[in-house]
Structure 1
């Protein structure tokens, strides 16, 4: 789903693989593989692509059929292909437009990517749902266990890594969304079937 959405957005903006690669600091072959579902992308790479395309990371996950119900089953969560031992899934959907909510599942040693990254100028909270996670904010590292949380600005360079002996799961809550306001207008118009 991510690959198809990425390709659709790229073509809709009349960008070649090479042009998007230049805008994101990646290679055309990487983007081609991502569009075909042959590889995953780090959170930092996804933020760069979303920014270059003028959308939020949430918009890369968008599935218009999923927005037809108010219930999101675990098995139907929009998900990115695993990258760096982390799989990121979108929980927030229309009509939520004031925040983005994601769940991340980390394999042992999995992380959000090899480097610290930033995205937008918003407030982010990470809650550890399971396992032990190290959150780096610049040069400062924080070790968090199940039930612990941390808050920071998305403009602060950050990274998360599972340092425990088992799988880890976290929830990210970002407010306001690190996306373009115009892209969120369609979320505001969405109504669950029960409200129609």
Structure 2
């Protein structure tokens, strides 16, 4: 994964006609570190990658590949890919190789501890959500109520009522989440028909 991130950084940097020294000045990261990163010889912390993404004018998720649609109905743990990363809040991993023709959207989510100055706002959207807590304690908001969820606890809601979560502990919370509608299935259905 890190060699792929490094090559994307290199491509973007060259497209923007930046030298390693100029990128170093924009990110406060050493030229040597950036050089090693571009060649896939070192790992990068999320905060540093966020600095690089801002300097190169892309969202941090640009560096993470969406899971590729495969024909297999089985996904091995080593095949799991990051689908979304929010450096301050959570990481999502796909749990399916074939989402295009499915109604449910399953994912593994890791929720990071909330920062002191963060405000959690509830939101609504179409569909349903099922959440199962695997590890840690999650604070869950639903329709004006606040609940603490522990490993083994689950929630199954209509997403049309206000909801959200936060991690008020100092450890990562891991949860299984399955929701509808599946935005990958919708995007295929909503694709414009080709003119013949």
Q: How high is the TM-score relative to the length of structure 1?
A: 0.55
Where do 5+ consecutive residues of structure 2 fail to align? Answer: 9-53, 192-196
Match of 1:33 in 2: 58
Instruction: Select which of 114, 130, 140 maps to 1:135.
Output: 140
Residues 140 and 146 of structure 2 are in contact (CA less than 8 Å); yes or no, is this contact kept in structure 1?
yes
Segments ≥4 residues shifted beyond 6 Å = none
Corresponding residue for residue 63 of structure 1: 68
Stretches of structure 1 that go unaligned for 5 or more consecutive residues are 5-28, 41-59, 187-196
CA RMSD of aligned residues (A): 3.6
User: Scaled by the length of structure 2, what TM-score is found?
Assistant: 0.55
Paired with 2:140 and 2:161, the residues of 1 have a C-alpha distance of 12
Count residues in correspondence.
136
Q: Which has the higher contact order (CA 8 A, sep 6+)?
A: 1
CA distance in 2 between partners of 1:162 and 1:179 (Å):
27
Which of 84, 87, 92 does residue 83 from structure 1 map onto?
Answer: 87
Q: CA deviation at 1:107?
A: 2.4
Cα distance in 1 for partners of 2:122, 2:185 equals 22
CA contact (8 A) 1:92 1:99 kept: no
Partner of 1:116: 122
Instruction: Report the 3-state secondary structure (helix = DSSP H, G, I; strand = E; otherwise coil) of the residue aligned with 2:58.
Output: helix
Q: Distance in 1 between matches of 2:61 and 2:178?
A: 29
How far apart, CA to CA, are the structure 2 residues paired with 1:94 and 1:146? 28
2:159 paired with 1:159: no
Structure number with bigger Rg:
2
Question: Aligned equivalents of 1:126 and 1:137: distance in 2?
Answer: 13
Return the offset for 1:167. 1.8
Q: SS at 1:37's partner residue?
A: helix
